[in-house]
Structure 1
Amino acid sequence: MNFSSWPALFVVDVEGNGANPPDLVEVAALPVRDGRPDKSIAGAWLTKPKRPVTPFAARVHGLTDQVLEDEPGWEEIKDAVHDLLGTAWIAAHNAHVDYRVLSAHLPQWQPAGVIDTLRLAKAAYPELPRHSLDALIKHASPDLSQAPGQRHRAAFDAYATAQLLNAMADRYESWDQLVAVAVPPGLPGAPDLEQEPTLW
Structure 2
Amino acid sequence: MRISETTFTAIDFESAGTAPGKTDAPVQIGTCTWNTEQGVSDTWISYIHTIQDITWSAQKVHGITHVDLRDAPKLMLLWPKIKRRLKGCAVVAHGHGTEKRFLHAFPGHGFGPWIDTLQLSRAAWPELPSHSLGDLCVALELEDKVSEIVPEKTWHDALYDAVASIILLEKIIADFALTNEPLSHLENPDTRIWHKLRG
- The interval holding the TM-score normalised by the smaller chain is 0.7 to 0.9
Q: 1:75 to 1:94 in 2, by over 3 A?
A: same
Q: Flag as ranges the 4+ runs of structure 1 deviating above 2 A.
A: 35-39, 175-180
Q: Distance in 2 between matches of 1:29 and 1:126?
A: 27
Deviation, structure 1 residue 24: 1.1
**Residue matched to 1:133:** 133
1:161 paired residue among 137, 140, 165: 165
1:178 paired residue among 150, 166, 186: 186
Deviation, structure 1 residue 100: 2.2
Q: Distance in 1 between matches of 2:13 and 2:38?
A: 20
Q: Distance in 2 between matches of 1:36 and 1:15?
A: 27
**Residue matched to 1:98:** 99
Secondary structure in structure 2 of the residue aligned to 1:119: helix
Unaligned runs of 5+ in 2: 191-199
Q: Distance in 2 between matches of 1:60 and 1:86?
A: 30
When the two structures are superposed, what TM-score results if normalisation uses the length of structure 2? 0.81
Deviation, structure 1 residue 18: 0.6
Which has the higher relative contact order, 1 or 2, with Cα contacts under 8 A spaced 6 or more apart? 2
Deviation, structure 1 residue 35: 6.2
Deviation, structure 1 residue 180: 2.4
Q: Distance in 1 between matches of 2:23 and 2:118?
A: 22
Q: Distance in 1 between matches of 2:37 and 2:140?
A: 16
Is contact 1:23–1:50 with CA below 8 Å preserved after alignment?
no
Deviation, structure 1 residue 119: 0.5
**Residue matched to 1:114:** 114
Question: What amino acid sits opposite 2:17 in the alignment?
Answer: G
Deviation, structure 1 residue 37: 4.5
**Residue matched to 2:5:** 6
Q: 1:144 to 1:35 in 2, by over 3 A?
A: farther
Q: Distance in 2 between matches of 1:68 and 1:97?
A: 20
When the two structures are superposed, what TM-score results if normalisation uses the length of structure 1? 0.80
Unaligned runs of 5+ in 1: 183-200
Is contact 2:33–2:85 with CA below 8 Å preserved after alignment?
no
Secondary structure in structure 2 of the residue aligned to 1:178: helix
Provide the identity percentage.
25
Kindly provide the CA deviation profile for residues 116-135 of structure 1, in whole angstroms up to 9, marking residues without a partner as x.
Answer: 00000111111112100121
Is contact 1:172–1:178 with CA below 8 Å preserved after alignment?
no
